[in-house]
């Protein structure tokens, strides 16, 4: 896979970073050129059981967005890296109520801007001189007929955005020819309170989220979708990046948030970041 764009000079790179309003990942694209992501996964890469060397491997990053993990696989020597995501917000697996509200509360203009600009992946790819190939498809469309199979698959922070996470896992299984790592959000409090009982909270509170599983539920979903778990990581927190705006800490706003389903979490747990856990697995043999 050859790179098709000329490298960006420093001033043009800084201009493009500033012009993109929807950075999710914090990525150092060049010395002094860091994207203002909403999360910063750089300090927690060690929590994810990705092989130190991917030399000679054909790899897939599902839910790539700005491409942090795809570029990390490339940095670890992967022979070929493919990435899957849906830049068009009108094709996201949103709760219907969230879609309706976005259409009427002024959010539509923001969605149109995302659709028009895409996300930061093309900017990051050019800046890094990357050869990662992105495929614009939903996780439900993944198949070996379209993509082939892969020696290593990474799935990051995706399942909570899906109405049917187990169905998505079954689609992912069709392209996993080797190890696969799931690194997803978990419900931290329920993980501590119910460590052995699978439990998921329906979290579709006018957001682009669906299910928040505790760690036992995440493990169960992966297993029931036809995977054998090889390594079970402990919960950890992904810190927020430069563009994250913490909730208003005023007394009135604090009291209002504490009455909402996730308000206490945003005010207390979110000071540490977003709770995640990583799982290394392989396709269950017949």
Is residue 91 included in any domain, yes or no? yes
**Residues in the chain, total:** 286
- Dihedral-angle region of residue 48 (phi above 0 means left; psi in -120 to 50 means alpha; beta otherwise): beta
Is residue 176 included in any domain, yes or no? yes
Q: What pTM, to 2 d.p., does this model score? A: 0.88
- Is the pLDDT assigned to residue 213 strictly greater than 80? yes
Using the structure block, give the residue that is written with the tokens 């895409």. 118
What's the total number of domains in the chain? 1
Q: Phi first, then psi: what are they for 233, rounded to 5°?
A: -80, 150
Is residue 212 included in any domain, yes or no? yes
Query: What pLDDT is attached to residue 96?
Result: 76
How many CB atoms neighbour CB 77 within 10 A?
A: 14
Cα distances (Å, whole numbers) of residue 40 to 121, 151, 164, 242: 16, 27, 27, 8
> What CATH number is attached to the domain comprising 175?
3.40.50.150
Is residue 232 included in any domain, yes or no? yes
pLDDT bucket at 2, cuts 50 / 70 / 90:
very low
Each residue's pLDDT tens digit, 89-101? 778 887 777 666 6
Q: Which residues contact 75 (CB under 8 A, 6 or more apart)?
A: none
Cα distances (Å, whole numbers) of residue 162 to 23, 139, 256: 21, 9, 28
Distance in angstroms (rounded) separating the CA atoms of residues 61 and 181: 10
* Helices and strands in the chain: count of H runs, count of E runs: 11, 12
Residue 80 belongs to domain spanning? 10-245+277-283
Both tokens of 246, joined, read: 């913490």
Each residue's pLDDT tens digit, 251-264? 676 666 666 656 66
Radius of gyration of the chain (CA): 19
Higher pLDDT, 172 or 285: 172
Average pLDDT value for the chain:
87
């Amino acid at each position: 896979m050859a790179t098709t764009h000329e490298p960006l000079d420093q001033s043009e790179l800084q201009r493009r970073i500033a012009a993109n309003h929807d950075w999710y990942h914090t990525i150092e694209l060049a010395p002094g050129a860091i994207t203002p992501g909403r999360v910063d996964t750089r300090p927690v890469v060690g929590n994810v059981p990705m092989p130190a060397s991917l030399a000679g491997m054909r790899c897939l990053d599902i839910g790539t967005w700005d491409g942090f993990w795809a570029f990390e696989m490339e940095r670890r020597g992967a022979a070929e890296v493919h990435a899957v995501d849906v830049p068009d917000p009108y094709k996201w697996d949103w709760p219907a109520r969230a879609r309706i509200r976005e259409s009427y509360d002024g959010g539509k203009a923001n969605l149109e801007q995302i659709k028009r600009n895409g996300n930061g992946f093309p900017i990051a790819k050019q800046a890094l001189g990357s050869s990662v190939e992105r495929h614009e498809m939903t996780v439900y469309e993944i198949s070996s007929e379209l993509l082939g199979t892969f020696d290593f698959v990474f799935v990051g922070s995706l399942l909570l955005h899906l109405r049917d996470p187990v169905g998505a896992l079954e689609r992912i299984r069709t392209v996993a020819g080797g190890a696969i790592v799931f690194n997803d959000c978990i419900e931290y409090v329920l993980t501590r309170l119910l460590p052995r009982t699978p439990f998921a909270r329906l979290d579709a509170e006018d957001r682009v989220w669906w299910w928040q599983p505790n760690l036992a539920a995440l493990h169960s979903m992966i297993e029931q979708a036809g995977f054998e778990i090889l390594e079970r990581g402990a919960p950890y927190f992904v810190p927020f990046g430069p563009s994250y705006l913490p909730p208003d800490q005023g007394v009135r706003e604090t009291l209002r948030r504490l009455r909402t389903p996730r308000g206490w979490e945003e005010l207390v747990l979110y000071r540490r970041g977003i709770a995640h856990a990583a799982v290394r697995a392989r396709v269950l043999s017949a």
